[in-house]
């Protein structure tokens, strides 16, 4: 019921955002149920306009676009979510440790992060992916490590702000160990900002994967993913066909949805702190 109470207070834009995110998630989860065909099944001619059995028409190989969109949602979101979680796991643990332990731990981790961040992420991932092959595991490891650097910086900054608060010093004074201080004192207070950042980083990674797919190094065919669907069907645009509009629109649809929810969430947690 606490959830309902907060739901009532949400602004309209937040509700629209939540609706957008929910629709996409439902489509991803129910993919096998609502998809009329198999993920990679060729069913008709190439680039048929929407209509007669194909809600959104067909793609560059004659596969039903709606099926591809729905499976695409599943693959792209699943992988992007996995990468974001991994990036956060590495980034937050590193950041919090660096902030509380200080000393050589902080120095070492921060130098590593500086070196990795000295190099443009897209170029680095292009190089690694084209060397190691663009398989899903490599994709996940490379992007999550690259993104962990940004999460590390945020987590470290947050932890540093919280760590100077008296209640942390009080905990130290009563002899609490580092582990307790990190998990019970610092992390709960850093959580709202981290959750908001999680949403934003998810969007960034989402777009990053579609850029890689565009350059041919993202999720490999025949798996459906929105990024490569835009690339493969891009040729249709100049022939006045809407085909690539759907996947690109879907990418924007989910990103906008998440941004709206995160903006509201940030606004609300800022309010709580201000009161």
Partner 1 sequence: MDSLKKMVVKRLAAGAVTVLVVSILIFVGVEALPGDPATAILGQQATPENLAALRKELKLDMPPHVRYFSWVSDVARGDLGRSLTNQRPVAEMIGWRFSNTLFLALAAATVAVPLAILLGMLAALYRESWLDKLLSISSLSAISFPEFFVGYILIAIFAVKLGILPGVASIHSGMGFGQKLLAIVLPTITLMLVVLAHMMRMTRAAIIGILTSPYIEMAKLKGVGRRRIIYHHAIPNALAPIINVVIMDLAWLVVGVVVVEVVFVYPGLGQLLVDAVSKRDLPVVQASGLIFACTYILLNLTADVLSILTNPKLRTAN
Partner 2 sequence: MDPLLSIRELTLKGRGNDAWVTLLDKIDLDLRRGEVLGLIGESGAGKSTLGLAAMGYTRTGCRITEGSVMFDGMQLVGAPRKALLALRGTRIAYVAQSAAASFNPAHQLVHQFAETPVQRGIMDFDAARQKAERLYRRLQLPRPERIGFRYPHQVSGGQLQRAMVAMAMACDPDIIVFDEPTTALDVTTQIEVLSAIKEAIQLRQTAALYITHDLAVVAQVADRIMVLQHGRQVEEGGTRDLIDAPKESYTRDLLNVRRQKKTTISPSREVVLEVTGVTAGYTKRKNVVEEISLKVRKGRTVAVVGESGSGKTSLARVITGLLPAAQGQISFDGAVLAPSLKGRSKETLRRLRMVYQMPDVALNPRQKIRRILGRPLEFFFHMDAQAKQRKVLELLDMIEMGPEFYDRYPSELSGGQKQRICIARALASQPDLIICDEVTSALDQLVAEGILKLLQRLQDQLGVSYLFITHDLATVKAIADEVIVMLKGRIVEQGPRDEMFIPPHHDYTRRLFRSVPEMDPAWLDNLLASRDGDQLGYFERSDEPVV
Partner 3 sequence: MLRLLEEMLQRGEISRRKFLALSAAIGASIALPMGGPSSAAFAAAPKKGGRLRLGLQGGSTSDSMDPAKFNDVYVQMTSMGFLRNPLVEIDAKGNAIPDLAESWEAQPGAKVWVFNLRKGAEFHNGKSVDADDVIFSIQRHQNPELASQIKTLVQPIKVFKKDGPHRVIFELEGPNADFPYLLADTRAPIVPAGTTDFEDGMGTGGYQLVEYEPGVRAFAKRFPNYYKAGRAHFDEVEVTIMGDVNARTTALKTGQVDVINRPDRKTAHLLDRMKEIQLVNVKGGLLYTFPMLCDTPPFDNNDLRLALKYSVDREDMLKTILRGYGVMGNDHPIAPIVKYSAVDLPQRAYDPDKARFHLKKAGLEGETFRLHTSDAAFAGAVDAALLWQRHAKKAGIQVEVVREPVDGYWDNVWNKKPWSACFWFARVTCDWMFTMAYAAEASANDMHWKHPYFNELLVAARGELDDQKRAKMYGEMQSLVRDEGGVVIPMIANMVDAASTKVKFENPAGNQELDGMRAIERWWFDA
Which residues contact partner 3 by CB under 8 A?
40, 42, 46-47, 60-62, 130-135, 216, 220-222, 234-239
Which is nearer to partner 3, 187 or 223 (by Cβ)? 223
Does 127 sit near partner 1 (CB under 8 A)?
yes
Report helix, strand or coil for 214: helix
The Cα-based distances of 203 to 83, 87, 199, 243, 250 in angstroms read 11, 13, 6, 23, 12
Check if the beta carbon of residue 44 is closer than 8 Å to that of residue 64.
Answer: yes
| Angle between helix 136-163 and helix 103-117 axes, rounded to 10 deg | 130
Check if the beta carbon of residue 85 is closer than 8 Å to that of residue 242.
Answer: no
Does 103 sit near partner 2 (CB under 8 A)?
no
Which is nearer to partner 2, 49 or 188 (by Cβ)? 188
Q: Which of partner 3, partner 1, partner 2, none interacts with 251 (beta carbon under 5 to 8 A by kind)?
A: partner 1
Which is nearer to partner 2, 114 or 169 (by Cβ)? 169
The nearest distance, CB 35 to partner 3, in angstroms, is 17
Q: Which of partner 2, partner 1, partner 3, none interacts with 9 (beta carbon under 5 to 8 A by kind)?
A: partner 2
The nearest distance, CB 263 to partner 1, in angstroms, is 9
Distance CA 162, CA 47 (A): 55
CA 262 to chain centre: 13
The nearest distance, CB 47 to partner 3, in angstroms, is 7
Report helix, strand or coil for 63: strand
Does 155 sit near partner 1 (CB under 8 A)?
no
The Cα-based distances of 176 to 187, 208, 219 in angstroms read 15, 41, 46
Q: Which of residues 156-215 bind partner 2 (CB under 8 A)?
A: 165-167, 169-170, 172-176, 184-185, 188-189, 191
Which is nearer to partner 3, 150 or 231 (by Cβ)? 231
Structure tokens at 248: 């690109």
Q: Which of 31, 73, 27 is nearest to 251 (CA)?
A: 73
Q: Exposed, middle or buried by CB within 10 Å (0-12, 13-18, 19+), for 191?
A: middle
The nearest distance, CB 117 to partner 2, in angstroms, is 30
Q: Which of partner 1, partner 3, partner 2, none interacts with 33 (beta carbon under 5 to 8 A by kind)?
A: none
Distance CA 67, CA 63 (A): 8
Which is nearer to partner 3, 188 or 222 (by Cβ)? 222
The nearest distance, CB 251 to partner 3, in angstroms, is 18
**Site residues, partner 2 (CB under 8 A):** 9, 165-167, 169-170, 172-176, 184-185, 188-189, 191, 271-273, 275
């Amino acid at each position: 019921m606490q959830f309902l109470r907060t739901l009532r207070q949400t602004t309209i834009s937040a509700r629209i955002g939540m609706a957008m995110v929910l629709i996409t998630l439902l489509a991803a989860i129910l993919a096998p149920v609502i998809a009329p065909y198999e993920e990679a099944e060729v069913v008709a001619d190439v680039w048929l306009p929407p209509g007669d059995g194909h809600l959104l028409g067909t793609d560059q190989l004659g596969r039903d676009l709606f099926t591809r969109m729905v499976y695409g949602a599943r693959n792209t979101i699943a992988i992007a979510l996995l990468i974001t979680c991994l990036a956060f796991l590495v980034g937050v643990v590193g950041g919090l440790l660096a902030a509380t332990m200080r000393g050589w731990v902080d120095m070492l981790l921060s130098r590593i992060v500086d070196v990795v961040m000295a190099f443009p992420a897209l170029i680095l991932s292009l190089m690694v992916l084209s060397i190691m092959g663009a398989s899903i595991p490599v994709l996940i490891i490379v992007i999550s490590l690259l993104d962990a650097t940004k999460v590390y910086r945020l987590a470290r900054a947050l932890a540093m702000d919280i760590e100077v608060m008296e209640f942390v010093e009080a905990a130290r004074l009563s002899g609490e160990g580092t582990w307790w201080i990190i998990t019970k004192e610092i992390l709960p207070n850093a959580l709202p900002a981290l959750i908001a950042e999680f949403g934003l980083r998810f969007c960034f990674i989402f777009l990053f994967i579609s850029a890689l797919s565009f350059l041919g190094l993202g999720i490999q065919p025949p798996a459906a993913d929105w990024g490569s669907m835009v690339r493969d069907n891009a040729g249709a645009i100049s022939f006045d066909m809407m085909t690539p509009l759907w996947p690109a629109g879907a990418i924007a649809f989910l990103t906008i949805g998440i941004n709206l929810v995160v903006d509201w969430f940030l606004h609300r947690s800022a309010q709580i702190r201000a009161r």
